[in-house]
Structures are given as structure tokens and as C-alpha cells.
Amino acid sequence: MEWSGGWFGLVIAALIIGAVAGFFGARKLIKYQLDKNPPINEKMIRAMFLSMGRKPSEAQIRQVMKNMKNSNNM
């Protein structure tokens, strides 16, 4: 079997296409997982406020969650 430039080019092109597709697939999967399971939730925000000596209202908690979601969408 003789190596020709055509086969070599196809192998390199397939590797590049696979790497690009894998990158975007992994990126989409990670974004989906972060939306589904956020790294911080309302209970954690409430605990953070209480550790600072403040009693948070529900509006404050919702505002912090909204700000965190908006910062992730940028």
C-alpha cells in the first residue's frame, strides 16, 4: 500500500473536522448542563446573605439569580 497525498489530506481533514465538531459539541453540552444544574442556587445565596448578617428578601434573591443568569449569557 502506497501513501499518496490524497489519503494523507483526507486523514488530516477528518481529524480537523472531528476536533472542531467535538469542541462545539462539548461546549453545547457543558452550557446545557450549567443551565440545568447551576453551580449556585437560591439556598446558597440565602446562606451567603445570612453569613454577612443580612436577612434577604425573596426579591433580593431573585435579583441575584437573575443577575447571575444574565452574566452567564454574555
The predicted pLDDT at position 47 comes to 93
* Residues contacting 65, CB < 8 A, separation 6+: 42, 45
How do the domains of the chain map onto residue ranges? 1-37, 39-74
Q: Which DSSP state fits 28?
A: H
User: What is the distance between the alpha carbons of residues 36 and 30, in angstroms, rounded to a whole number?
Assistant: 10
The per-residue pLDDT string of the chain (74 residues; one tens digit each, 9 = 90 and over) reads 566 678 888 899 999 999 999 999 999 999 999 888 878 888 999 999 999 999 989 999 999 988 888 876 65
SS3 39: coil
Give the pTM.
0.55
